[in-house]
Structure 1
Amino acid sequence: MARSQSGPSLSERPPLGGGPRRGAPCPRQVAAAARAALAAGASGVHLHPRGGDGQETLDVARVGPAVRAVRRACPGPPIGVSTGLWMCGKDAAARQTAVRRWAVAGDRPDFASVNLSEPGFEGMAETLGTLGIGVEAGVWSERDAADLLDSTHMTSCTRVLVELLNLPVPQALHIADRIVDQLRRAGRTVPTPLHGEDVSTWPVLDKATVMGLETRIGLEDTLTDPSGNVVTDNGTLVRIALSRVT
């Protein structure tokens, strides 16, 4: 995701207005959503493959086809996925086993997010490195930033994703300043996307622009535009985001 541009987060949500989830989008649908977001101006894709039950998964049988479909439909832009521990019942060993199975996938993501706040960061970073997948360190707090700077894998991380989650806007903006300052004082020069969630989504996106950082936007982050109007697709969010950074 290029500087001052926005990359879509293709994490499907339940139908607007509530109601039960009926399965998950097939790889072709995910690829179509990615193509639309990239056409709107995004420079990369972050996606969350899902199983037949609609839940996020690290299963190679789901991750591989999703990445392959997006890459074939949209060759060139980087494709990232999450390795959130919640996908494996908060079991770090099970996550390691699932991600190691990506070795058999013909198509692997270009990078994968690994959260410092979750157990098993070092092992997960090591596994991704052996698979030739870049590590995007997920930093949610100043403590996470400090842990990253102390990590043996600090220099091998290709990206640092600063996420301000479940925070009031003033607190999110304050913590963004402190985390980015920590990383800059330590000499970290890798891409550092900054993004918020829900009420802080748009204020943090504006903050990223002012700070000269990359950012991210998508239905995983917000379901509304800055005025509170409902948005139902990633492409629209990307267009709105780019209108605020250009």
Structure 2
Amino acid sequence: MLQACLNGSRTAEEHPALPLSPERLAEDAADVAALGVTSVHLHPRDVIGAQTLAGPEIATTIATVRAAVPGIEIGVSTNVPGNRARLIGSWGPLAAGRPDIASVHLSDPAWRELTEALHRVNVAVELVVADLADLRELPEGINRITVRATRDSAEDLLAQVEPLGLPVLLHGRDADAWPVFTYAARLEHHVRMGLEDTLHKPDGTRARNNAELVACARRNQRAKAPN
């Protein structure tokens, strides 16, 4: 799987093409889907541009993106301020405005509560692991492990999560984004790329937008595919 991470916690000041509104996220989702992306990860915003999990904003964002790319997996992050379990609880009746999957950080003290809240509204759980931790007693219902790694930590983190037998998405950020992507592609793990992870192409030049980053990622994947 190639996932596109469209915006993350970045601000408009960091890149002029960063998609923040539902309409811009839908446009970028359509562009990357045309390049072979089957999953998009995004951080919905409220009217003042702050990250949110509130039902109305989630519903508008997800429904707008889903209309542009029907059938693609749409995921959101729970790593935002507020009473997240209560906000997630408001997603139950959203229908087309409910995400397919949501990421929960293992380092978050409330990660078990958030996981349970997502299960109650029938949203899949993507557990984010960035450091070595005790994973022997994970609850049932974790759908995927996302490993956020550096080029130095990737091997050790994978050695910990691979025995769990769950799908693994491996990615890095900023200076580590492309080295970790290349490593993950060679191992044939799920991968992701987009403006959340880096603003630059592999050659160090600034990317125009998410589509240009994903096009580079597709070429990288093909180059690393087994013959």
Cα gap change, 1:48 to 1:182, in 2 (>3 Å): same
Aligned equivalent of 2:64: 69
Cα distance in 1, alignment partners of residues 15 and 37 from structure 2? 28
* Greater share of helix: 1
Aligned equivalent of 1:87: 81
The runs of 4+ residues in structure 1 deviating greater than 2 Å are 12-19
Q: Contact 2:145–2:161 at 8 Å: present in 1 too?
A: no
2:117 counterpart of 1:141: no
Q: Contact 1:136–1:159 at 8 Å: present in 2 too?
A: yes
Match of 2:155 among 177, 182, 195: 177
Higher relative contact order (CA 8 A, sep 6+): 1
Cα gap change, 1:17 to 1:204, in 2 (>3 Å): closer
Over aligned residue pairs, what C-alpha RMSD do you find?
Answer: 1.8
Q: Contact 2:101–2:123 at 8 Å: present in 1 too?
A: yes
> How far off is 1:205 after superposition?
0.1
Any stretches of 5+ residues in structure 2 without a counterpart?
Answer: 223-227
> How far off is 1:75 after superposition?
0.8
Match of 1:53 among 45, 48, 55: 48
- Matched positions, count: 218
Q: TM-score, normalised by structure 2?
A: 0.90
2:117 counterpart of 1:127: yes
> How far off is 1:17 after superposition?
6.4
Q: Contact 2:199–2:206 at 8 Å: present in 1 too?
A: yes
1:142 aligns to what SS in structure 2?
coil
> How far off is 1:43 after superposition?
1.6
- Percent of aligned positions that are identical: 32
Cα distance in 1, alignment partners of residues 106 and 203 from structure 2? 33
Q: Contact 2:172–2:181 at 8 Å: present in 1 too?
A: yes
Cα distance in 1, alignment partners of residues 74 and 136 from structure 2? 25
Q: TM-score, normalised by structure 1?
A: 0.83
1:193 aligns to what SS in structure 2?
strand
Cα distance in 2, alignment partners of residues 207 and 229 from structure 1? 21
Cα distance in 2, alignment partners of residues 244 and 18 from structure 1? 23
